[in-house]
Amino acid sequence: MNKEKKPNDARNAEARLEAEEREVAREAERAAAELEQIEGELARARKEIETLKDKYMRLLADFDNYRKRMQAEVEAARKEGEIGAIRAILPVLDDLERALEHAGAKPETIAEGVRAVHQGFQRILSGLGVEPVPGEGEPFDPGVHEAIGVVEGDEDEKVAQVYQKGYRYGEQLIRPARVAVTKKKEAGGGK
């Protein structure tokens, strides 16, 4: 029996070995198919990365061009505004020069010339949208007035005197008015 068992054992071992080889071959085929699938996905991912990188680089270049264009436009608008303001005030310089030319002939006309220049300058500022801040007799507003003194008065917190006019451009304050503010007199005050 021993002799018969050996050939059967050998056949069984050989069958097991063939089955294992077939299983290993199937596993190898599955691994190869999986590897091929992964390599395909990797190639697609690399292609997508290149596409996205290209889009990113184009977007970055577009943004840089936009930023440069906006800087140039802002600078051009600033210069245009400055040139407009300079053109607007040049007539004041012309008026001052004419006043100085005529001042030698009649010194008493200086005040008249200065008054005319002042009025012209106020018209120019008004034309540019610059308006004075309300002054004497108006309620004190810390948003547009800078109190530099206090004086006694009939009411509290009224502008008594303007030392330096304030101006605003639309809703924006350019310079606050420097003013003296009233403080109500104390009744029957004993000083």
CATH number of the domain within which 157 lies: 2.30.22.10
The angle at the Cα of 5, spanning 2 to 8, to the nearest 5 degrees, equals 160
Residue with tokens 């002042």, as numbered in its chain: 118
Residue 14, H or E segment? helix 2-103
Q: How many domains does the chain have?
A: 1
Residue 66 located in a structural domain: no
For the stretch 114-134, pLDDT in tens is: 888 888 888 888 888 899 998
Mean pLDDT of 153-166: 89
Residue 157 located in a structural domain: yes
- At 170, which amino acid appears? G
Residue with tokens 């530099």, as numbered in its chain: 148
Which residues, in sequence order, are CB contacts of 12 under 8 Å at separation 6+? none
Residue 167 located in a structural domain: yes
Query: How much is the pLDDT for 154?
Result: 81
For the stretch 48-104, pLDDT in tens is: 999 999 999 999 999 999 999 999 999 999 999 889 888 888 888 888 887 777 766
Residue 122 located in a structural domain: no
- At 30, which amino acid appears? R
**Residue 191: pLDDT above 70?**
no
Query: How much is the pLDDT for 1?
Result: 47
CA 15 vs CA 2, 22, 27, 99: distances in Å: 20, 10, 18, 124
Residue with tokens 């608008």, as numbered in its chain: 77
Domain containing 151 equals 133-191
**Residue 23: pLDDT above 80?**
yes
Enter the pTM of the model. Answer: 0.55
Residue 53 located in a structural domain: no
Residue 113 located in a structural domain: no
Residue 52 located in a structural domain: no
- Pick the closest to residue 128 from 95, 86, 164 (CA basis): 86
Quote the CA–CA distance of 121 and 49 in Å, as a whole number. 64
pLDDT band at residue 8 under the 50/70/90 scheme: confident
Residue 57 located in a structural domain: no
Query: How much is the pLDDT for 74?
Result: 96
- Pick the closest to residue 80 from 88, 92, 69, 68 (CA basis): 88
